[in-house]
């Protein structure tokens, strides 16, 4: 299984926010945004800041997906 941040990108669209808005609101670096876009690992602190900035829970910004073999 792997983590996917697809729900985060859908939430941004639903809230009419751009990536730049997320960077500012959650105080993210561009390298952290890159990691999120490529479903790479980020710290729980980053996930908490995103949830606080978007007023949501972890399950609203990430999900588990089966890895293809």
How many structural domains is the chain composed of? Answer: 1
pLDDT at 68: 76
pLDDT at 67: 81
3-class secondary-structure state, position 2: strand
pLDDT at 5: 97
pLDDT at 69: 66
Query: pTM here?
Result: 0.90
Please state, in angstroms and rounded to a whole number, the distance separating the CA atoms of residues 58 and 37. 16
Structural domain that includes position 6? 2-65
Question: Which residue in the block uniquely carries the two structure tokens 């792997």?
Answer: 2
Helix ranges (H only) for 1-69 are 6-14, 19-26, 30-37, 44-54, 58-61
Q: What CATH number has the domain bearing residue 61?
A: 1.10.260.40
8-52, pLDDT tens digit by residue?
999 999 999 999 999 999 999 999 999 999 999 999 999 999 999
pLDDT at 51: 98
- Of 9, 2, 3, 1, give the one whose Cα is nearest residue 50: 9
């Amino acid at each position: 299984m792997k983590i996917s941040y697809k729900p985060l990108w859908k939430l941004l669209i639903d809230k009419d926010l751009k990536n730049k808005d997320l960077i500012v609101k959650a105080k993210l670096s561009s390298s952290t945004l890159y990691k999120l876009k490529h479903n790479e690992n980020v710290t729980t602190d980053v996930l908490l800041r995103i949830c606080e900035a978007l007023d949501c829970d972890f399950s609203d910004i990430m999900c588990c997906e089966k890895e293809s073999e």
